[in-house]
Amino acid sequence: MRRLLSLAFAFAVAACTSGTGNDQNAAAEARGPREVAPILTGADARDTQTYARPEVARVTRVALDLDADFANRRMAGTATLDIQAAQGAHEIILDSRGLEIEAVTDAAGQPLQYALGANDAAKGQPLTIRFGEGAAPTQVRIRYRSAPDAEALQWLTPQQTAGGRHPYLFSQGQAILNRTWIPTQDSPGIRQTWEARITAPEPMKVVMSGERLTPEGEDAGNRRRAYRFRMDHPVAPYLIAIAAGDIAFRELGPRTGVWTEPAMLDRAAAELADTERMVEAAERLNGPYRWGRYDVIVLPPSFPYGGMENPTLTFLTPTFLAGDRSLNGLVAHELAHSWSGNLVTNATWPDRWLNEGFTSYFENRIMEALYGRQRAAQEEALSFAEIEKALVELGADAPGTRLRDDSGAESSGIVYDKGAAFLRTIERTVGRARFDAYLTSYFDRHAFQPMTTARFLSDLRANLIRGDAALEQRLQLDRWAYQPGLPDNVARPDPAAFAAVDRALAAYNAGGDVGAVPYSGWTTAERLRFLNGLPREMPAERLAALDRAFNLTASGNSETLFAWLQLALANRYPPAVPAVERFLAGQGRRKFVLPLFETLWGAEDWGRPIARRIYVRTRPSYHSVTSGAVDRLLGAQGRQAP
Ligand SMILES: [Zn+2]
């Protein structure tokens, strides 16, 4: 039904001809460095966030040769792109946002004509390179530099690092930010292999999301060192990532290790001690891990996400360091993306649930394998509560509650949690053994390829349902994938998961004494269930008593601290404000920063002046992903001091 693009191209026929079956499997395994990943055609696979027209000409490999210029906050050098063009093509269109282009040539250095088109606030500009007379070139080389405010990159001052002595750089490419530092076709459906040579001043070390070829770097002159990397599996271009700073490495297991600033290394390694076991558990669930090493880097606190699943090198926020591994579900999540997201990737962003819903489901399965049913059941119940919250906030019939959603609502309670609930519902309907076998074969059949919702459903019908009409009816696949709300066959969490906590909560909410709440003996999940279940209208004395009894303001666990601060702000509880300000200044994770500002902003006359005062101070420390979201919330007036 949905054909791959083999007609327009004479190459890659073996890898492109069939959507299912074991032949393709073998082709994916045998694919060498220069083999080309297929591109999906069909309306459901059309990416509206790229200017590229891959059916005319597409990028197959990116080779970067860049200097990291900390003084001027720019990446500068060349990008050499391998391209494949259809017969008669005259041009190739790339994505670019804020890039300063100096020259474009072919591989022999002959200048090529190019033009930057009109600028779109989100998509940036098309960079169109014309081929001239004769056959299309096989390579184009672009000499350029990124802008100092490139959205993908955050250049930190020494004061923004734990060590305080050297600057730091990291990138965040998802969803469409890499075009601010790499001129390529920035679409998840156009997979590309890549290599890079990056220079940085000593003693900075550079790491990237690929194989490290020069661990200590080579002398590049001028007290700079050059680092080389390579990724020979075709990846979605948002997965090209870089970090550079005063960082050190420690091994965690035979193929796992952690990078972070030296001052953070002991803490990070202790929190990550189960990483190798997680990889083993994930392989038992999903099939072989195909990326070689699985390392992680624990970044400075301004990293805007919990984690980013950059291949071979997961990027992590330091806010998951709780001291007791109670927040390491984050690592299981990013690891799970090595299959759902990196191996099989959403072809376009409205299909994001294929990355995040699958991954949230696998995260929970990995947690169960390592820590047992109880912890997994509790985390599943917390996830289910997020679906219910999203349905209340968006409206149960709102378009934004569909799994495949192009409304722009982007609710994590839907994309992550409803997505996971869909897979859990299938698992519990067909049985775990059968569903696990299906998913392993799904990753095999579609390894290193893009995926759409329609394609997933047809694969499921062909390989799991196999004409069983009764099963088809029970699963309600189209309702799950395309309709708003929650289908009535949803697998609900085990009511026993939080039975004891819910009893304590009910007693407390009925006016009971704080002394009767066994908070200190609870797990992190149980504490979150309790805090999130407290009313948003409570007398100040009761809040003060809670804080005294459980030491909430001083919590070293970012999730429970966040839950407490949200409760306190919703209650307009002034004693919590200094702690809110410390938390908002001390980290820049959007998941924490944006809701706290939302709560302040919602408490109009009381909260808005506080929000303005704090944001003026903290905004410069945030990555664009976080500051952009808060900017939209507060509007222009929010950025000025009250
Ligand atoms: Zn994720």
Q: What is the 3-state secondary structure (H, E, C) of 314-346?
A: EEECHHHCCCCCCCCHHHHHHHHCCCECCCEEE
The DSSP symbol for 482 reads H
Catalytic residue among 416, 442, 573, 622: 416
Cα-based distances in Å from 584 to 291, 484, 579, 606, 626: 36, 34, 9, 18, 11
Give how far the C-alpha of residue 378 lies from the chain's centroid of Cα atoms, to the nearest Å: 23
Tens of pLDDT along 364-374? 999 999 999 99
User: What domains does the chain contain, in order, with CATH numbers?
Assistant: 60-279+293-321 (2.60.40.1730), 344-482 (1.10.390.10), 523-638 (1.25.40.320)
Question: Mean of the pLDDT values across residues 595-599?
Answer: 98
Residue 637: pLDDT band (50, 70, 90) is low
Q: What is the mean pLDDT of the chain?
A: 93
* CA proximity to 620, closest of 584, 591, 582, 592: 584
Residue 133: pLDDT band (50, 70, 90) is confident
pLDDT higher than 60, residue 570: yes
Q: Ligand 1 centre from 79 Cα, in Å?
A: 28
Q: Ligand 1 centre from 411 Cα, in Å?
A: 13
380 is catalytic: no
Q: Ligand 1 centre from 530 Cα, in Å?
A: 25
Residue 483: pLDDT band (50, 70, 90) is very high
438 is catalytic: no
Q: Ligand 1 centre from 340 Cα, in Å?
A: 9
Provide the percentage of residues in the chain whose pLDDT is more than 90. 91
Catalytic residue among 261, 271, 309, 334: 334
Strand partners, 442: none
Q: Ligand 1 centre from 333 Cα, in Å?
A: 6
Q: According to the model, what pLDDT value does residue 442 have?
A: 98
Residue 642: pLDDT band (50, 70, 90) is low
Residue 15: pLDDT band (50, 70, 90) is very low
Q: Ligand 1 centre from 314 Cα, in Å?
A: 11
The answer to whether 140 and 81 are in contact (CB under 8 A) is yes
Q: Which residues contact 209 (CB under 8 A, 6 or more apart)?
A: 231, 239, 240, 241, 242, 310, 311, 312, 313
Residue 156: pLDDT band (50, 70, 90) is very high
Residue with tokens 């391209």: 83
